[in-house]
A and B are shown apart, each in its own frame.
Chain A
Amino acid sequence: MSDPEVRSALRVAVHRIAIVAGVFCAVLAGLLWHNGIQLHRADESFRLVDSEKLVGLKQQLAADPGDADLKDRIRTLDQDLRLEYFRRQSFATRGGFTLLGGGLAFIVALHLARHLRGPRVPVFSAKPEDRMRSAQVAAKAVGGTLIVLTGLTAAMVGGRTRQWQAAPAVGGDLPEPAPTVNEAWWPEPEEWAAQWPCFRGPGGMGVATVDKLPAGWNGETGEGILWKTAIPLPGENSPVVWEDRIYLSGATEDERAIYGIDATTGRILWSAPVSTPQGSRFDPPAVMEETGFAAPTAVTDGRRVIAIFANGEIVGVGTDGSPLWARHLGEADNLYGHANSLAMWRDLVIVVYDRGGAEDGLSRILALDAATGETRWSTDRPVPASWVSPMVIEHEGQPQILTAANPWIIAYDPADGSELWKVKAMSGDVAPSPAYHDGVAYFTNTGACLIAVKVDGRGDVTDSHVLWKRDEDDYPDICSLLCDGPRVYTVVYGRLFAYDAQSGDQVWEHDLEDDFQASPVLVNGRLWLLTMEGETIIGDVDAEGFHEVARHPLGEEIGATPAFGPGRIYLRGREHLYAIGGDEG
């Protein structure tokens, strides 16, 4: 060993061993890596090496079960694949051990080579006094690293939303509810307009624009029906739609519920039962069968759904059905059953809760906080029970709530509930909801009149702001008014009337010989009328008259006004909710 020449020769040998071992290890590692890729594929999926071929052959065989040749090919390929798979598996195992041995040889040879070369010459690069200097540099580096680290972490952490809380955390499931819930929040006007948030759609106008209308449908054959879902509890209310959810309510004498339905599948995602201690103290109200216990349509703003029932219970739930709040507005006293649908202005739920006679002093209009159910304002109404749904309009920057009852038509300021103007014109049990177009509101009731009022007045405007009023014809008792700009339409006992919106002159009338309860709607400029038998009559309207275009039967009675979503029509029959649409996509 001491002989330098032997030592040097040995060193060369060991060096070569190290090189060979190193190359061997590198090659083997590469092979193992490749083998692993073959076993697991680059996409990390787990499969036999050429499985698509096998699966394809099997499918071929399913189509032609008698092909003996194909069977043979499958069997051969199958065996090959299995053998290949397990061969590769065992190669991985054995290769691992070999690599380990090779690595060991490599390292040992390297160590030996170093040992044979002898100890290294110490290089004294640092001087003792360097230590303080290097310490200072290192300290700066450590400090700088810490600062950079803090900044990076803060930036990274700060930019992240807690996405697991994106779930509608309403209902106080979380100790720290999403902060937006209790803050004043409401959708932008264009968001309202894009949804179907309340009775008769955005603004309660009864006007819908639907892209890709289906050519037609037939509830009996299932043609054009995307899905059909049985609604457990009955109700005359219309569905409301927000994005991919549909909400509606149902009730019987002793059961009430709100339903959340998946617009894609029609599955009832949740059903929120409604019951308040106060509500259960009273006997169920007496209602007419046609009205039922869940006549008023609910409202939604995409975060909460609020529904009112005939017994005076009003509840707010999250879009996942979790309870937000529940209230009882006092025992109902209503000849037919409470039927005024809800409206919404900003984050306020507008409730017209008219009860009893005018002298009872029970009627009022309230605005409830949609998030908490608290009363923001409440204004007494000098009227008896009514069935008109409130409508929120805006005229020259002033939002107004339009209501009608016997005898007063009253507009309120939704901000504080103060009366803006009123007209004394109505009589009887007022039920049809108003229409509004360009500064003029239209009201009607059977046995009373059809009246157009300019909405820019203040105070009692009976003598000053009535544009026109007529009382010579029959007027609707349930179906709401509809105004398309030039004309106002009424549906009265199977007849359709058109009046000039500016003058009030009757333009034409059209006999349909059907019974109607649902309110007419204007869809893409065409008038839709839904008969009680479930037929949807679609027609063009112009100055000349009504030109029927199509009739689509549903096969189930309809009492509720339809709702619309993107490319979809939702019809609520007596028992089912139908989604109608064209081709998916």
Chain B
Amino acid sequence: MAEAPGMNRRALLSGGLRGLGLLGIGTATGALATRDKRDDEVWQIDPDACIQCGLCATECVLEISAVKTVHSHGMCGYCELCTGYFEPDPVNLDEGAENQLCPTGAIERTYIEHPYYEYRIKPDLCVGCGKCVKGCNMFGNGSLYLQVNHDRCVDCNRCAIATACPAEAFRLVPRSEPYLLRGKEEA
């Protein structure tokens, strides 16, 4: 095949541009890769910033949100009348559906001793609406709060809930410590 006169020039130009491209990618990669903070990060909710708007239940890319209520038992008052468990002004202080706050029945209430009751979250049933959290924060001491459960979280590059979160309560935390738990000291 006859060599066109432009072919050499073309190859040279192509080679030069290729070198430029390599240089560009290399510079960008190098600049980014040499940053100090190297730990892998995951999304988590700062419970102190959360305002329980309910978007965690609706904005997650998963059908049932990865955000669920977490209970710091060490902070809990073990109240008989738990405002995170009972509807405001419950008819009776028993486990009947008419008294329960949680729409999916995800809180389990067990009697410990008079007058203390223990409350546990069943993660399978929790959908992360934050209703109990609001009840607990409004009247109680905030031992219930929302967290991204990392067995379910798919680690989206930019968390869809974080994008929607009005309180900007989502932030990146190291994968080695993926939760922002309250009252950890007591445990």
Chain A residues within an 8 Å CB radius of B57: 46
Would you call A74 and B97 a contact (CB within 8 A)? yes
**Interface residue? A454 (CB, 8 A):** no
Chain B residues within an 8 Å CB radius of A44: 58
Of B54, B63, B96, B100, most buried by chain A (CB within 10 Å of CB) is B63
Would you call A89 and B64 a contact (CB within 8 A)? yes
Chain B residues within an 8 Å CB radius of A75: 96-98
**Chain A residue at minimal CB-CB distance from B103:** A48
Would you call B103 and A89 a contact (CB within 8 A)? no
A51 CA / B97 CA spacing, docked (Å): 13
Would you call B103 and A65 a contact (CB within 8 A)? no
Chain B residues within an 8 Å CB radius of A78: 97-98, 100, 105
Within 8 A of A (CB), among B162-181: none
Chain A residues within an 8 Å CB radius of B63: 89, 92-93
**Chain A residue at minimal CB-CB distance from B62:** A93
Would you call A61 and B98 a contact (CB within 8 A)? yes
**Interface residue? B46 (CB, 8 A):** no
| B125 to A: closest C-beta gap in Å | 8
Chain B residues within an 8 Å CB radius of A46: 54, 57-58, 129
A74 CA / B87 CA spacing, docked (Å): 14
Within 8 A of A (CB), among B64-107: 64, 87, 89, 91-92, 96-98, 100, 103-105
Would you call B105 and A82 a contact (CB within 8 A)? yes
Chain A residues within an 8 Å CB radius of B103: 48, 51, 81-82
**Chain A residue at minimal CB-CB distance from B64:** A89
Give the interface SS of chain B, mostly helix, strand, loop or mixed. loop
**Chain A residue at minimal CB-CB distance from B129:** A46
Within 8 A of A (CB), among B13-50: none
Chain A residues within an 8 Å CB radius of B96: 71, 74-75
Q: How many residues of B contact A (CB 8 A)?
A: 18
A279 CA / B125 CA spacing, docked (Å): 66
**Interface residue? A303 (CB, 8 A):** no
A85 CA / B129 CA spacing, docked (Å): 14
A44 CA / B129 CA spacing, docked (Å): 15
Chain A residues within an 8 Å CB radius of B98: 57-58, 61, 70-71, 74-75, 78
**Chain A residue at minimal CB-CB distance from B104:** A82
**Interface residue? A79 (CB, 8 A):** yes
Chain B residues within an 8 Å CB radius of A74: 96-98
**Interface residue? A166 (CB, 8 A):** no
Chain A residues within an 8 Å CB radius of B87: 58
A71 CA / B100 CA spacing, docked (Å): 12
Would you call B91 and A79 a contact (CB within 8 A)? no
Of B96, B97, B100, most buried by chain A (CB within 10 Å of CB) is B97
A26 CA / B167 CA spacing, docked (Å): 40
| B7 to A: closest C-beta gap in Å | 20
Chain B residues within an 8 Å CB radius of A85: 104
**Interface residue? A62 (CB, 8 A):** yes
**Contact flags B90-133 to A (C-beta < 8 A → 1, else 0):** 01100011101001110000000000000000000100010000
A-B contact pairs, 11 of them (CB 8 A): A44-B58, A46-B129, A57-B98, A58-B98, A61-B91, A65-B91, A71-B96, A74-B96, A74-B98, A82-B105, A86-B125
